[in-house]
Structure 1
């Protein structure tokens, strides 16, 4: 059932309390995200900044932790991973630690975010091998071009998709098709996953059908052309925080 505007506004106010303030600084230019990050650290503490996905981010989202640690998806023993729009790097550091891979990259268009991520990594009590495997850099995901031998075995997207305008989603899909090597995986933790699109954002809406559309269109068997779905679940409410209940879906796609 579609949500009315009052329901959407109430959800955004609860889930992303500083989003309206954040939107004042955003323009159509990607560089405006650096302004958002500068204001975040100048005016708010790190647990309650302007970037809504950073608010209260003290742990990894349970659906990601389950996918990585349960063994339901057989990730390789070694590989190269990317977290685009990495922010302070929570997920980048987690993936390096949980997977044990030697190259796990966190890219963000904001140099301020990259500085914050490097500072956060230094503050974490991680094994030297994990710290050595993580690298943060200021890179525009949409301008990234790589030769075949440098493409990724895994890309993880949580909130990067909903941070960009929906008009940019086809370019997001094209980049994922280009950057994930054959046999590699794309993990999409969809949030907020909603029944109908709405205009408010960022964070913008997301839906499984929209991911299928931008990743290559329907393949006629429930997935997207060029991808095989190897994991597709709506997380049970008992493992989620209140704002995530009924608003998450996690899908793992394998590039074919």
Structure 2
């Protein structure tokens, strides 16, 4: 039985290979992944102390949507955070958020696959971006993640939705192991579990995985 909500079904009727259709989804308020607040599993892992996340440096949030998670990352860790989205409408919504004084958060319209940054990032966060792109683009996603993150940096993947297999999308079918081939060698998992807290519609449908990029020449333990 499908877990797809009417909004998810409507989303699939809007999104095509034309990236401008993401603007249409936002304009029509067909954004079923948005909850109007930060994702509870993200806040949980940031606050738990189980991972020595950087307390300075830079974070990156591709496919940031309305921006709540990007602000939380900056607030919890004190890092400068860049958040991008292909949709100008999404970025406009994100820029309406009140960023607490002292935080460094920037939202910009951005094509993740064409984005370049010579300084690289200490932390990258992916929630529903991986499942928004066609599976044929996942290897390119992995190449970009590897190009943009520093050795020793962390990648947080909030894997959602863990629904029955389907060829349709977005969101496209995903399982935790689907990240392995795109990321390639040189990563280790430091967290891999079902969150203890989830949004009501996400219960039993998500998993939080934190990866660390190994230094060159370092083998997995």
1:112-166 residue CA offsets vs partner (Å, 9 max, x unmatched): 11111101x2xx3x43112xx010000100111222xx10100100111111111
Partner of 1:221: none
Partner of 1:28: 17
Between Structure 1 and Structure 2, whose CA radius of gyration is higher?
Answer: 1
Over aligned residues, Cα RMSD in angstroms?
1.5
- What secondary structure, in the 3-state scheme, does the structure 1 residue paired with 2:89 have? helix
Corresponding residue to 2:59 among 64, 76, 81: 81
Question: Normalising by the residue count of structure 2, what TM-score does the alignment of the two structures yield?
Answer: 0.91
Question: After the TM superposition, which residues 1-256 of structure 1 pair with which residues of structure 2 at under 5 Å, given as runs?
Answer: 7-8=1-2, 11-13=3-5, 17-40=6-29, 50-54=30-34, 57-101=35-79, 103-119=80-96, 121=97, 124=98, 126-130=99-103, 133-147=104-118, 150-194=119-163, 197-216=165-184, 225-236=185-196, 239-256=197-214
CA distance 1:53–1:181, shift in 2 (3 Å): same
Partner of 1:3: none
Which runs of 5 or more residues in structure 1 are unaligned?
1-6, 41-49, 217-224
In the comparison of the two structures, how many residue pairs are matched? 214
Partner of 1:46: none
CA distance 1:39–1:58, shift in 2 (3 Å): closer
1:182-229 residue CA offsets vs partner (Å, 9 max, x unmatched): 0111000001125x632132112211111112211xxxxxxxx11111
Contact 2:66 2:93 in 1 (8 A): yes
Measured after TM superposition, the shift of residue 87 of structure 1 is: 0.8
Greater relative contact order structure (CA < 8 Å, 6+ sep): 2
More helix by share: 1
